[in-house]
Structure 1
């Protein structure tokens, strides 16, 4: 019989089949090395931090470049603006442009009484200085409506903007004169237009009569002669006749040529042209009289 509390060797085997006293053959896995994991994690954090620092340095460098370039642009713009706006002497070209622009706007900048003064000096017989008196100023009109047809076509072709007219009488109230100012775009256009104007002294500006005055009988048929003179962008026309209404056809040709009337008419037109184109005083500097 077997011993109490004992058993056969087979009976003493453990449930896994290993003999008593022998180590089981189950493979044991080594535990993860926590220190290695910590080192790897720290290394990854350091790498990420270093990459972030590099990106930050690149961003800061790029931002610095942008700021520097912007500052240079602003500085150059400020220097250029200062150089452009600071007071300096006018060049010859700028002086000429100033004069042209000043003369070209006078017909608008001046009052009508500035374009057509109340009295205009002229020379009578023996070069005696006399004064013509303004009777009235006509409303502004289209160029083609204030001149004869042959002249209207030329003015229209070269861009005439408007026509200003006024009527004067001489110092004795014997002669009547109408002066017309045709306003062109610029002096170049005016020169081109005057190159084509006819020399026929029977056509030019149409007279303006004012009822109730000594000019009321002054019409196209009463014109003895007509003429014009160029001044800046303006063509100044003039015509004259007798206050008593005599027509050109009623006057002998020799009297038309040698009458005191015609020199007076031309003198009045020339005086108004001189007022309009008289060169203005040009400031020496871009901002006045101090450079």
Structure 2
């Protein structure tokens, strides 16, 4: 007799077989102990957003505070640097007594720029005094001033080499006649770069009194016959950065070779020429008055 199958051996729909476990390991038929995840409510989301914004704001405030401190430090350092620079500039530029070295340099610079700063009539005065016969004071009169020339073009070749070697800048010339218009004199001022160059050039110059500055004649005057051959003697004197040349001759055109060796020059000719050159050299190199302070007469 066949056993009757019943439905009691089959698992019930939606149920579990007694004595078995589910796949998670809990006894079949029991409820899980893990609580369900609560859904986020609008109130909780708003609170979380507010807390996040507060934390972000506090962080921004900290960054801003550090930025302000950094900028303030940079500005403070800039103010200190500017203040120290101002104090140093004031200390450097305030009036103070000139040192001996500064006084000497002031005089050198003032003398060296006179050939440019002075007018032509300042370098070559209209009248220059000299001592004539019996030491009588007389005056030589300026006839004309020649344009500034290259040093090599205004002196003899043997003199030009020494000047060029030591940096001659330019050469200024003017011609004078004595009080009787019997003698003619040309004075030449060679401008060197500085006094040291002038000393070196002077040491290299020849002592030959037949060479020196080239004469300048002005047509229609007592000087028109005064040329290179009419020079009776030449000479020079140093003054600051200048070498002042002088030469003299007769206004009637007599040449040097035309005068016999036994015949001497007129006793007034060469002393007058040398005196005129020395006077112009003295004017150029006369030490100027030095202010006692860096900004004038008040320290």
TM-score for both structures, normalised by structure 2? 0.84
Gaps of 5+ in 1: 1-7
Gaps of 5+ in 2: 1-5, 18-27
What is the alpha-carbon distance in structure 2 between the residues aligned to residue 85 and residue 255 of structure 1?
66
Partner of 2:206: 198
- TM-superposed CA distance for 1:100, in Å, is 1.1
Pair 29,111 (structure 1): closer, same or farther in 2 beyond 3 Å: same
Residue pair 1:224, 1:256 contacting (<8 A) in 2 also: no
- TM-superposed CA distance for 1:169, in Å, is 0.4
Partner of 1:16: 14
Q: How does 1:268-279 map onto structure 2 within 5 Å?
A: 268-279=276-287
Partner of 1:246: 254
Structure 2 residue corresponding to 1:260, chosen from 268, 279, 293: 268
Structure 2 residue corresponding to 1:62, chosen from 59, 66, 70: 70
- TM-superposed CA distance for 1:77, in Å, is 0.7
Residue pair 1:89, 1:284 contacting (<8 A) in 2 also: yes
Structure 1 residue corresponding to 2:114, chosen from 106, 111, 114: 106
What is the alpha-carbon distance in structure 1 between the residues aligned to residue 135 and residue 177 of structure 2?
18
- TM-superposed CA distance for 1:15, in Å, is 4.5
Residues 19-50 of structure 1: per-residue CA shift (max 9 Å, x gap): 9xxx9545354325979999987876666555
What is the alpha-carbon distance in structure 2 between the residues aligned to residue 117 and residue 14 of structure 1?
145
What is the alpha-carbon distance in structure 2 between the residues aligned to residue 255 and residue 90 of structure 1?
57
Q: How does 1:1-291 map onto structure 2 within 5 Å?
A: 15-17=13-15, 25=30, 27=32, 29-32=35-38, 48=56, 51-253=59-261, 255-256=263-264, 259-291=267-299
What is the alpha-carbon distance in structure 2 between the residues aligned to residue 83 and residue 253 of structure 1?
70
1:195 aligns to what SS in structure 2? helix
2:186 aligns to what SS in structure 1? strand
What is the alpha-carbon distance in structure 1 between the residues aligned to residue 264 and residue 68 of structure 2?
93
Residue pair 1:178, 1:207 contacting (<8 A) in 2 also: yes
Identify the range of structure 1 (229-238 vs 79-88) with the bigger mean alpha-carbon deviation.
79-88
Residues 71-130 of structure 1: per-residue CA shift (max 9 Å, x gap): 110001111111122222222222111111111111111111111000001111222211
Residue pair 1:181, 1:234 contacting (<8 A) in 2 also: yes
Residues 252-282 of structure 1: per-residue CA shift (max 9 Å, x gap): 4465467220110000000000111111111
TM-score for both structures, normalised by structure 1? 0.86
Residue pair 1:141, 1:163 contacting (<8 A) in 2 also: yes
Over the aligned positions, Cα root-mean-square deviation in angstroms equals 3.0
What is the alpha-carbon distance in structure 2 between the residues aligned to residue 123 and residue 165 of structure 1?
22
1:221 aligns to what SS in structure 2? helix
